[in-house]
Amino acid sequence: DSGVTQTPKHLITATGQRVTLRCSPRSGDLSVYWYQQSLDQGLQFLIQYYNGEERAKGNILERFSAQQFPDLHSELNLSSLELGDSALYFCASSVTGTGSPLHFGNGTRLTVT
């Protein structure tokens, strides 16, 4: 058990809808990362937060947004969903923003129909 909790485990929704994925980092970890894993693109870094502030951005679409709250949990919001957004979304956390190991959650599987 990595200590990173992601909810829900599975999500099925229709095109055009909006969903929110939630991540609780390991106790003591200040940094949260979001990754998307799909069959065609593989694992792609989306965005990182450190202690509530956005730290780095990867290949995150404008329809997607994220935030980290004062209690350090994070939410990834996906809107105007398309079929191609179907993927496994992982959250990871680490103590600091650089150098310390990443601990991954078990992911949220999103299916857009």
Where do contacts with another protein occur on this chain (CB under 8 A)? 2, 4, 31, 33, 42-45, 48, 55-56, 58, 90, 92, 94, 97-107
Burial of 10 (0-12, 13-18, 19+ CB in 10 A): exposed
- Minimum Å gap between C-beta 73 and another protein is 17
The CB-of-57 to another protein minimum distance in angstroms stands at 9
Alpha-carbon distances of 92 from 3, 47, 84, rounded to whole Å: 10, 11, 22
Number of other CB atoms surrounding residue 52 within 10 Å? 14
Closest to another protein by CB, 79 or 104: 104
* Closest to 90 in 3D by CA, of 78, 68, 108: 108
Least distance to another protein, CB of residue 59, Å: 10
Identify which of residues 12 and 43 has a Cβ nearer to another protein in the complex. Answer: 43
